[in-house]
């Protein structure tokens, strides 16, 4: 069976995996979702128990990928992608309470969970471009994590050049160095004299310049690409199987920003994995908590927090869930998104709020509580979590007492050494970088500083490509 992809706004042609991956955002402005959910039976799941991560990944992704890759190519991509992880189990579980585990998703090259999907996407992309005899120029804007994950994903890709814009002097040093110390001829960092918003506006302006886009074969790397959601579905299966699934339900607590990661959990549920609840853990940027509690999806200003990768105003992947709870009515979704654009808000109807509540529980964890979680967990067990993971653990701790018999898995989305200041504030100790990165502060940096001027950036991209 091979899945086709349709747009959440209902006005774009259905397409296969390869085209959906290369297109990213649908032409009607919507997001691609599978037309049908491939089903995995309990017997099939029992067969997967105890298998290596790559085997589970291959089994779960196979129907989504369809004829874009043959079995051998898909296997090769997954072996290479997860061979780059520093832990043999890829996404290992660590127990922190009698019925509470943390799933470490940060053993990839940039120490954050985005590697789990990006490493696969980079190789798939390169494979397809090679087959088509094409080259692509990826251009992205980052406030930190996405940029380094994208660079690490394509640094060895022969058919891709990548340009990443970050706001000059406004990322953490670890984040900047993870991008600027990558010494490859196809990797180009640009420090923009401005804010992250300026970087995003420059990116938008370049995307809207059709001539430029065609001239350099420009493409994006953002989190709305279906091919970035798909590999994340796998670790819900892998962890559930390790803890007694499918013969036992599991609850997951997911630190959430753009809703991509927790949506992947919903996909696993739709495919037949027994999941009791998905906890949507937010920091004080609480638009999702309000939306899930009483349907109030209204924008406010973004508050900077210790967990910056969750400092969002709009969770772009939430549209995929809305599409389902509104019975896949693309016109309705287009309507809501237009209201959001024009009025900065929309209201989710009561019936739909109730349908979301069948599976999702919102929890919002503030700054003080986040620090307390890091401190308390460290004191009780010696285990250190980063502030994003701490938001997830804090949310899980509130839900556990009401349902102590269901295993709880909190997703650990970043290595503590990636956010050393917050961790030091809570525990008194700066977490060291893992051995393979210990020399990060000594490596030579390469980046170009440019003003926030779209013509200057475009000139730089053209000149660099030659």
Ligand X SMILES: *Cc1c(COP(=O)(O)O)cnc(C)c1O
Kindly provide the b/e burial profile for residues 16-32, where b requires at least 16 CB atoms within 10 angstroms of the residue's own CB.
ebbebbbbbbbeebbbb
* CA of residue 404 relative to chain centroid, distance: 29
332 is catalytic: no
The smaller minimum CB distance to ligand X, of residues 45 and 227, is found at: 227
* CA of residue 33 relative to chain centroid, distance: 16
Determine whether 227 is exposed, middle or buried from the number of CB atoms within 10 Å of its CB (0-12, 13-18, 19+).
buried
Closest CA to 292 of 318, 273, 314: 318
Q: Do the strands 5-7 and 32-34 form a parallel or antiparallel pair, or are they unpaired? A: antiparallel
Whole-angstrom CA distances from 211 to 167, 215, 286, 458 are: 26, 6, 39, 11
Q: How far is the CB of 323 from ligand X (least distance, A)?
A: 17
The smaller minimum CB distance to ligand X, of residues 280 and 333, is found at: 280
Determine whether 444 is exposed, middle or buried from the number of CB atoms within 10 Å of its CB (0-12, 13-18, 19+).
exposed
List of residues 6+ apart from 378 with CB closer than 8 A: 384, 426, 427
The smaller minimum CB distance to ligand X, of residues 152 and 261, is found at: 261
Number of CB atoms found within 10 A of residue 397's CB = 21
Half-sphere exposure of 404 (CA within 13 A, CB side): 3
Q: How far is the CB of 363 from ligand X (least distance, A)?
A: 14
Q: How far is the CB of 386 from ligand X (least distance, A)?
A: 7
Q: How far is the CB of 310 from ligand X (least distance, A)?
A: 5
The smaller minimum CB distance to ligand X, of residues 231 and 260, is found at: 260
Give the whole-angstrom CA distance, residue 362 versus residue 281.
6
List of residues 6+ apart from 401 with CB closer than 8 A: none
Q: How far is the CB of 200 from ligand X (least distance, A)?
A: 15
Q: Are 337 and 256 in contact (CB under 8 A)?
A: no
The smaller minimum CB distance to ligand X, of residues 199 and 414, is found at: 414
Q: Which residue has the tokens 């994903």?
A: 153
User: Can you give the binding site for ligand X, defined by CB under 6 A?
Assistant: 112, 114, 145, 223, 255-261, 309-310, 388, 413-414
* CA of residue 15 relative to chain centroid, distance: 23
The smaller minimum CB distance to ligand X, of residues 189 and 283, is found at: 283
Given the residues 11, 51, 86, 114, the one annotated as active site: 114
Q: How far is the CB of 357 from ligand X (least distance, A)?
A: 19
Q: How far is the CB of 126 from ligand X (least distance, A)?
A: 23
For the annotated catalytic residues, the residue numbers are 114
């Amino acid at each position: 069976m091979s899945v086709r992809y349709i747009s959440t706004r209902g006005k774009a042609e259905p397409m296969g995996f390869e085209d959906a991956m290369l297109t990213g955002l649908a032409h009607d402005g919507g997001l691609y979702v599978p037309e049908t959910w491939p089903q995995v039976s309990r017997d099939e799941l029992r067969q997967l128990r105890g298998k290596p991560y790559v085997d589970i990944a291959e089994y779960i992704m196979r129907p989504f990928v369809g004829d874009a890759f043959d079995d051998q190519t898909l296997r090769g991509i997954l072996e290479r992608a997860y061979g780059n992880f520093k832990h043999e189990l890829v996404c290992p579980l660590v127990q922190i309470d009698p019925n509470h585990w943390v799933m470490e998703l940060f053993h990839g090259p940039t120490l954050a969970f985005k590697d789990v999907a990006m490493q696969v996407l980079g190789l798939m992309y390169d494979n397809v471009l090679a087959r088509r005899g094409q080259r692509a120029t990826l251009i992205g804007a980052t406030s930190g994590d996405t940029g380094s994950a994208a660079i690490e994903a394509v640094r060895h890709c022969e058919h891709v050049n990548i340009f990443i814009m970050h706001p000059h002097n406004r990322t953490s040093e670890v984040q900047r160095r993870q991008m600027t110390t990558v010494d490859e001829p196809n990797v180009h960092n640009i420090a923009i004299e401005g804010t992250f918003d300026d970087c995003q506006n420059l990116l938008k302006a370049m995307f809207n310049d059709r001539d430029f886009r065609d001239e350099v074969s420009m493409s994006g790397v953002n989190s709305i690409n279906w091919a970035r959601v798909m590999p994340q579905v796998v670790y819900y299966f892998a962890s559930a199987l390790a803890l007694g699934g499918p013969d036992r339900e599991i609850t997951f607590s997911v630190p959430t920003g753009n809703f991509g990661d927790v949506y992947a959990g919903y996909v696993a549920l739709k495919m037949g994995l027994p999941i009791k609840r998905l906890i949507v853990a937010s920091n004080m940027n609480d638009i999702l908590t309000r939306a899930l509690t009483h349907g109030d999806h209204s924008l406010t200003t973004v508050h900077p927090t210790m967990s910056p990768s969750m400092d969002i105003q709009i969770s772009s992947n939430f549209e995929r869930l809305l599409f389902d709870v509104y019975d896949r009515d693309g016109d309705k979704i287009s309507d809501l998104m237009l209201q959001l654009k024009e009025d900065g808000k929309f209201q989710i109807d009561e019936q739909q709020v109730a349908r979301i509540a069948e599976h999702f529980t919102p929890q919002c964890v503030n700054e003080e509580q986040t620090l307390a979680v890091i401190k308390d967990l460290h004191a009780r067990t010696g285990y250190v979590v980063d502030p994003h993971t701490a938001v997830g653990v804090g949310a899980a701790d509130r839900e556990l007492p009401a349902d102590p018999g269901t295993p709880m898995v909190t997703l650990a989305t970043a290595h503590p050494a990636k956010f050393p200041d917050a961790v030091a504030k809570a525990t008194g100790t700066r977490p060291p970088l893992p051995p393979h990165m210990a020399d990060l502060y000594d490596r030579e940096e390469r980046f170009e500083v440019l003003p926030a001027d779209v013509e200057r950036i475009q000139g730089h991209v053209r000149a660099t490509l030659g």
